[in-house]
Amino acid sequence: MEAAIKTYSRLRTGGILFFAFVLSSCGSNNKATDQFVTMDTDTLIEKVAEAPGSKVKVYNFWASWCTPCLKEIPEFEAFVKAHPAEVELVFVSLDRKKVWDTAVLEVVEELQMTQPIWLIDQGLDFEWRHKIDEGWVLPAIPVTLMAYKSHRKFFMKPLERRELEEALLELQTL
């Protein structure tokens, strides 16, 4: 508990400056810089609609305040590490902008998240979620979309590694 408090204090005092550096250092080869991308919902929808290429693209929608989301993040990290040639994972944070430099950074550090994190500036319009998948019932998270070639699998529940493995195999055999 004491370590978590120290982490929070450090992030609270230095988080804003660190996050400003991360977002402003686009030309850097710094892994932290490369890990975070900010975008609006229109850009998110365009990126998700793009053909996934030769890898299965996995979009995991989460938030720092969502306990089931936080529980499944290590499952996703282990899954992508087991399939680096087959899977590309993006964590899509639905946290409000005002906590990007505090709560989001704290979660990333605590869970040792290594995959790209898209920070979505979603405003007050939540209808964009239906453009990701028509079955997305608001405000449900965690949500995961897996895409491969022209096939998509949408999950509106927390996932375990076994379920990710099954979905990967199913998508690859379609």
Which CATH number characterizes residue 40's domain?
3.40.30.10
Give pLDDT, residue 65.
Answer: 96
Task: Output the CA–CA distances (angstroms, integers) from residue 96 to 2, 55, 62, 85, 102, in the order listed.
Answer: 26, 30, 12, 33, 11
**Distance, CA of 42 to CA of 144 (rounded, Å):** 18
Q: Are 91 and 113 in contact (CB under 8 A)?
A: yes
pLDDT value of position 137 = 86
Count up the domains in the chain and report the number. Answer: 1
Position 123 scores a pLDDT of: 79
Strand partners, 137: none
Whether the Cβ atoms of residue 153 and residue 170 lie closer than 8 Å to each other: yes
**What's the confidence (pLDDT) of residue 156?**
96
Range of the domain at 27: 2-172
H-type helices in 1-115, by residue range? 2-24, 31-35, 41-49, 67-82, 105-110
Entry pTM? 0.82
Q: How far apart are CA 13 and CA 9, in angstroms?
A: 6
Select from 65, 2, 48 the least CA-distant residue to 147.
Answer: 48
- Cis (ω within 30 of 0) for the bond into 84? no
Closest CA to 171 of 154, 155, 148: 148
Helix (H, G, I), strand (E, B) or coil at 34: helix
Ranges of residues in the chain whose predicted pLDDT is under 70: 1-33
Q: So what's the pLDDT on residue 13?
A: 38
Per the structure block, which two tokens stand in for 95? Answer: 């946290």
Residue whose C-alpha is closest to residue 19's, from 81, 128, 95, 125:
95
